[in-house]
Amino acid sequence: MKPLVECRLYTFVDTAYLGSRKPELVAQQLCDGGSDLIQLRAKTSTADQIRRMAEAILTITSQAGVGLVINDSPKIALQVGTPLCHLGQEDFFGAGYSNLSQLKADLKTQNSKLEPLQIGLSTHAPEQARRAIAVQPDYIAIGPVFATPTKPAAKPVTLDYVRWAASNVKIPWFAIGGITLQNLDEVLAAGAQRICVVSAILNAPDVVKTCRQFKQQLDSAPQNR
For 120-131, the DSSP string reads EEEESSHHHHHH
Q: What is the rounded distance in angstroms from the CA atom of residue 92 to the CA atom of residue 204?
A: 32
Summarised one tens digit per residue, pLDDT across range 137-148 is 999 999 999 988
Classify residue 101 as left (phi > 0), alpha (psi -120 to 50) or beta.
Answer: alpha
pTM of the model: 0.94
Whether 225 has a pLDDT exceeding 60, the answer reads: no
Please state, as a whole number, how many other Cβ atoms lie within 10 Å of the Cβ of residue 66: 24
Rounded to the nearest integer, the mean pLDDT of the chain is 93
Q: What is the rounded distance in angstroms from the CA atom of residue 200 to the CA atom of residue 145?
A: 14
| CA distance to 55, 133, 137, per residue, from 173 (Å) | 26, 10, 10
Looking at residue 115, its pLDDT comes to 65
Angle between helices 126-134 and 158-168 (to 10 degrees): 40
Greater pLDDT, 159 or 105: 159
Q: How many CA atoms lie within 13 A of 97 on its CB side?
A: 24
Summarised one tens digit per residue, pLDDT across range 125-137 is 999 999 999 999 9
Angle between helices 207-220 and 23-32 (to 10 degrees): 40
Mean pLDDT of all residues in 77-95: 91
Read out DSSP for 21-65?
Answer: --HHHHHHHHHHTT-SEEEEE-TTS-HHHHHHHHHHHHHHHHHHT
Which domains are assigned to the chain? 4-220 (3.20.20.70)
Looking at residue 104, its pLDDT comes to 78
57 exposure class (CB count in 10 Å sphere: 0-12, 13-18, 19+):
buried
Whether 178 has a pLDDT exceeding 80, the answer reads: yes
Q: What is the rounded distance in angstroms from the CA atom of residue 42 to the CA atom of residue 33?
A: 21
Whether 60 has a pLDDT exceeding 60, the answer reads: yes
- Total number of residues shown for the chain: 225
Q: Which of 53, 7, 10, 69 is nearest to 198 (CA)?
A: 10
Whether 23 has a pLDDT exceeding 90, the answer reads: yes
